[in-house]
Structure 1
């Protein structure tokens, strides 16, 4: 595949002509059609912790894959954000298992066989990532690459120029770089709240608290968002010492007084 292509497709040209992040409807289906992709997702980085927040995903498979990457903290999306360069893996079967050891087998089970991610940003500035699920050919053509690169550049420009995309609730609220302004407008608001609660419970940094939350979600085979909601609802509590945990749970995360509600299904999905 060539690295550059000078001409975008007519379909992508029309998408870019009509691109308005604050317009009505969900633009992701039209992006997927123009790219000839199995799915498309736009994820923004929000808050002081630069947490990836899904804005638009199509179809549901894209949303599930984004949630998987967020739960595990690994995959082409996080790598693209970290490096600032596109991560092109149209055939995940060819990726070394040690690169994304937890993600690869689960992605295959979901039905995701190829992913290409394009970071949104300029230089050291990162505002998000455009994720493209590849089609059954397990490849990305020069035309698809050119179209995806053009879309990523247009989205970057729109966000940096102050275009404020609607959040998932459709209320039009937005903060800097298009991030939803209030916690209630965030798809992952519970994760932000739970991370803060775990930070207090364990006396650790927010970064360490998020790692603990992810470890519990992965170890119990549950989506991160579901585990976070249990923490916020006080059905699940993280504790400082394993010795104090009557359940012998390696994360030290279930209620320690035996009087409150426990994690549903014993903490397992």
Structure 2
């Protein structure tokens, strides 16, 4: 069972981080253990898009964020839109029409409960902190309080490191997890003679239909292994 010492250590590591690339060096698994969950993930909203994954435990949490990004629905998107937490202690009992594409996929991943908190900066939502557990059930009161403490620490780290993120992206060595998606969307837009928004929809649909993370498909597009053409047959796959 996690102790207050575990949480204090995680908060200390976060506060010692200057943001930017250093956040990736903070142990997300240790954070999950301190909060009594199986995994954590942090995403930063991008204007008009679901979010950019910047920190997570590997495996289920990262895959859940990928699914939300690919499908354009889920607790992180709701949290970012409302600037309010989304707490679902048992995904089996969530109304099917709420996240119709995401729910069966998330349950199939073994996610039983999700708890999503906004990273609030004034009246704005800087990002989202998503906790997930395999076993359904609510967070204990202390765990809920601790999650808000971590969310506050993450907000401070990301706000302090905002210039580092922007500088890395401007130099072309972006640490953003989905940098390839934005590059691929631009390529698809040219190949299929469509808008960037429509290009992103095609990328997501292609990835979902094949059960692949959209990031992987984007990397194939950038490497010119997948080519989207303007016709009625949808995207084609190049042998090059």
Is the pair's TM-score, using the shorter chain for normalization, greater than 0.5? yes
How far did 1:49 drift?
5.9
Aligned twin of 1:198: 188
What pairs with 1:236-255 in structure 2 (closer than 5 Å)? 236-242=226-232, 249=233, 252-254=234-236
C-alpha contact (below 8 Å) 2:87/2:114 kept by paired residues: yes
Match of 2:29 in 1: 29
State the match for 1:130 in structure 2: 129
**Alignment gaps of 5+ in structure 1:** 1-7, 165-172, 243-248, 263-269
Contact 2:83-2:118 at 8 Å conserved across structures: yes
Structure with a larger share of its residues in strand: 2
CA RMSD of aligned residues (A): 2.8
Distance 1:35 1:178, change over 3 A: farther
In 1, Cα distance between the equivalents of 2:167 and 2:69? 20
Would the alpha carbon gap of residues 63 and 24 (structure 1) be closer, same or farther in structure 2, given more than 3 Å must change? closer
Which whole-Å CA distance do the structure 1 matches of 2:78 and 2:68 have between them? 10
Does the C-alpha gap of structure 1 residues 186 and 119 become closer, same or farther in structure 2, counting only changes over 3 Å? Answer: same
Distance across 1 between alignment mates of 2:174 and 2:156: 26
Q: Which protein is bigger by CA-based radius of gyration?
A: 1
Cα 1:125–1:207 shift into 2, 3 Å = farther
Q: Deviations 1:206-233 (Å, cap 9, x if unpaired)?
A: 2221111111111232221221122212
How far is 1:25 from its partner?
Answer: 3.7
Q: With CA pairs under 8 Å and 6+ residues apart, which has the higher RCO, 1 or 2?
A: 2
Q: Give aligned pairs, total.
A: 233
| Counterparts of 1:137 and 1:221, CA distance in 2 | 25
Structure having the higher helix fraction is 2
Deviation (angstroms), 1:102: 1.0
TM-score normalised by L of structure 1: 0.76
